[in-house]
A and B are shown apart, each in its own frame.
Chain A
Amino acid sequence: MEAPSLGTLLREHWELAKNLRGLQIELDGEKCKGVWQCYEVCPVGCWRPDYEAGKVEFHHGERCIACGACVLQCPEDAIELK
C-alpha cells in the first residue's frame, strides 16, 4: 500500500474518460416485463412506456447521460450500460 502517484491518478482519469464517452444503453426486450421503473427514474426522458406490448421503449437514446439509474432500478436486469 502506498500513496497514489500522479501517474496512476492520471491513468485512472484517462480510463474513466474513455469509458464515459463510450457508454451505451442496451435493453434486453425479452427480459422486460413492463415494470417501467426506468421511465419512473430517468431524469432526461429516454424511456417511453409501450402500454400495448407491456414493455418499454428506449426512444430518446441520444439524451442519455449515462447516470445508471434505470440499470439499478430494473428488477428484471433487462438494462445494461456498457
Chain B
Amino acid sequence: MATAFMKWLERSPADYERGIQLLTLGRLERLQRELVENHIGSGDRVLEVGCGPGTLSVRMAAAGARVTALDRSRSMVEQAEIRLAQAGVAGAVPLIHADAATIGDRFEAGSFDRVVCSLVLSEMPDASRRLFLRECHRVLAPNGRLLVIEEVRAAGWGARVLQAVIQLPLRSLSWLLTRTGTRLVPQLAQTLELAGFKTRVSAQELAGTLQLLVSEPAAVASAKKPLRPVVVGELAHHTSLRTWLLNLWELVFRILPPYPSWEPGVYTLGDPGPKDPVLVTGNYDLTLRRLAWALEGQLDAWVLVVDSSGINVWCAAGGGFLTAERIAGGLRSSGLDGFVNHHAMVLPQLCANGVDGWRLREETGWGVHWGPVRAEDLPAYLAAGRKKPGGMRWVAFPLLDRFEMMTATLGFYALLILLPVAIFWRPMLGPVTVSLLSLSFFYAAVHPLLPGRDGLAKSLPLALLAVGGMLIHSALFDPVGAPTLFGRGVGLSALALFVAAELQGMSPLMRGEQANWGWEAAIGAALGAIYWLLPRAVGWR
C-alpha cells in the first residue's frame, strides 16, 4: 500500500497530456481548434471548466477571449499556470483550484458568454454533473452557450463493439503509461437536452466518437426548480454470486484497473436522522462493502461517497484522486445539507496524506474530523465524542492482512514472472511456481520476525532460510550434484529478493518498494551474472 503504489498512481499533468494524445490519436486538438475558431469571439467572457494543463485556455486567450480557468487538480492548476506564463497571458487568465460542482457559489449570475468543458463531463459523477449543468444556466449570460467536447459512444451495436475492440489496447497502454483514462457518458446529447440545453453536434472526429457539441440554454421549467437532495442508495451488507466474484477479483487482482467502484453521492447506513453523523469515504467497491460489513446494525449514519476514481482512500489521497476539492464538490452536489441539521464530517484518518483539512473547512464551512484508521472503531470513536485512543490512530499489519496483501500483489506479479517462464522455460514452470508461492506465504507469515527494517534488508535472511532449507532437503531426500544445488540456490535467492521487495510496497509500515528499486535491480543483475559465469569458471558447463 504505502508510498510506492501511491506514487505510481500519481498522475502528472505531462502524463495526462501524453495519455489524452494517445487516447484520441491527436484528434482532440483539431476539435479544440474548431471550437476556438467558430465559437469563441474576441472579448467573450469564457469559463473553462476542467482546464487541465491549460492548452485550450491558452488558445482561447490568444483569440482574444477573457478566460477564467478552473480545475480540481492542484498539479494541473500549477501546470496551467506555467503554460499561461509561457504564452504571455498569465495575468489575464484567473486560475481557480476547485471542483466544477461549486461554480454556482463562485460566480455571479450571467458572468460568462461561454462555458467550455473539454473531456470533463464524462469525468463527473452523475450528481455533480446534474448540479454543474444547472449552475451553467445561471452563470451563462443571455445568448450564452455551453461548449462541450466529449468522447461519445458510437451509434449502433456493430460500431460499439468495433469501438471497444479498437480502444482496448489504446486504453490499457494509456493507463499503464500515464494513469489516464476516460469514461463515456451514455447519451450525452439527451443528458444535455434533459438539463435544459438545446444541443447540436458542431463537429466530429474518429468516426463520430469524439464530438464538439454546442448547447444553447432553453427556457425549461425543470431547470429552474431547486434540485432535490437524492439518496443514491443504501449501504447494507449482503452476499451474492456477484459479491463473491468481486471478492475474488479484488483479492487476486487488486492492483489492476479497472477498480470496481460505486456511483458517488449520499448513502444511508441504517436509518439515519438529521442529527446522525456524516461519514466521508471514497468510492472503491471493497471499501464500501467492508464499511457496510463492519458497521451494519451498529450505527445510523449518512455516508458521503466521494469520487476517488475507484481507489481506496489512502492510495487515492496519496495519488491526488481524493482531495479537499473533490470532497467539497461531492458535498455540494450531494444535497446533504437537506438531510442533516449539523455541519460536521468525519473523514478516514488515512486520507490525511492528500486531503487538506484546512482547505476543506474553509471551502465548505463544515467541521472536519479525522476518524479512526479502521472502520470497525467508528462506533466507539463516535460514542466517545470523536475521541480516539492511541490504538485507533495507528496502522497495524497483522497476519491476516499480510496474507491478504501478499495474495493481492501476487496476482499481478506472479503473472509477470510465471508467464515468461511458461513461454521460454517450460520445464521450470512447476518448480518456479511452487517456490514463488511458498516463499511468498512463508515470508508473509514470518515477516515481523525477520531482522531488517525494509524489504531489501529482510530479503537476505529470507534467502538464507530458503537456500538452507533447500540444502537440508536435498541432503536428506534428494541427493543432487553441486551444479544443480548451485542453480537452485541462485534461483531461490532471486525469488526471495523479489518477494521481499514486493510485500514492502504493500505494507503500511514501510516506505515504498521503489525506495530500494536500484539496489534490487543491481543485486538481481549480479545474481544473473553469477548464475551465468560461475559454472563456466569452475568447468561445470
Are B358 and A73 in touch, CB under 8 angstroms? Answer: yes
Are B177 and A40 in touch, CB under 8 angstroms? Answer: no
Categorize the interface residue count of chain B: 35 or more
CA distance A65 to B358 in the complex (A): 23
A75 within 8 A of B: yes
Q: Which of A3, A17, A68 contacts B518 (CB 8 A)?
A: A17
Which of chain B's residues have a CB closer than 8 A to the CB of A3? 18, 21-22, 177
B421 within 8 A of A: no
Q: Which residues in A have some Cβ–Cβ distance to B below 8 Å?
A: 1-4, 9, 13-14, 16-18, 20-21, 23, 37, 40-45, 62-63, 65-69, 72-73, 75
Are A17 and B517 in touch, CB under 8 angstroms? Answer: yes
Which of chain A's residues have a CB closer than 8 A to the CB of B156? none
- Which residues between 508 and 538 of chain B lie within 8 Å of chain A, taking CB atoms? 508-512, 514-518
Chain B interface main SS type: helix
CA distance A72 to B347 in the complex (A): 15
B491 within 8 A of A: no
Beyond known contacts A21-B516, A63-B509: 11 more, CB 8 A cutoff: A3-B22, A4-B178, A20-B7, A20-B511, A40-B352, A43-B508, A44-B509, A66-B3, A67-B3, A68-B354, A69-B352
Are A1 and B353 in touch, CB under 8 angstroms? Answer: no
Are B516 and A44 in touch, CB under 8 angstroms? Answer: no
CA distance A16 to B6 in the complex (A): 12
B250 within 8 A of A: no
**Chain B: minimal CB distance from A59 (Å):** 13
CA distance A62 to B287 in the complex (A): 30
B17 within 8 A of A: yes
Are B517 and A13 in touch, CB under 8 angstroms? Answer: yes
Between-chain CB contacts (< 8 Å), 5 pairs: A44-B394, A63-B509, A67-B3, A72-B352, A72-B354
Are B393 and A1 in touch, CB under 8 angstroms? Answer: no
Q: Which of B354, B355, B373, B514 contacts A20 (CB 8 A)?
A: B514
Which of chain A's residues have a CB closer than 8 A to the CB of B350? 43
Which of chain A's residues have a CB closer than 8 A to the CB of B3? 20, 65-67
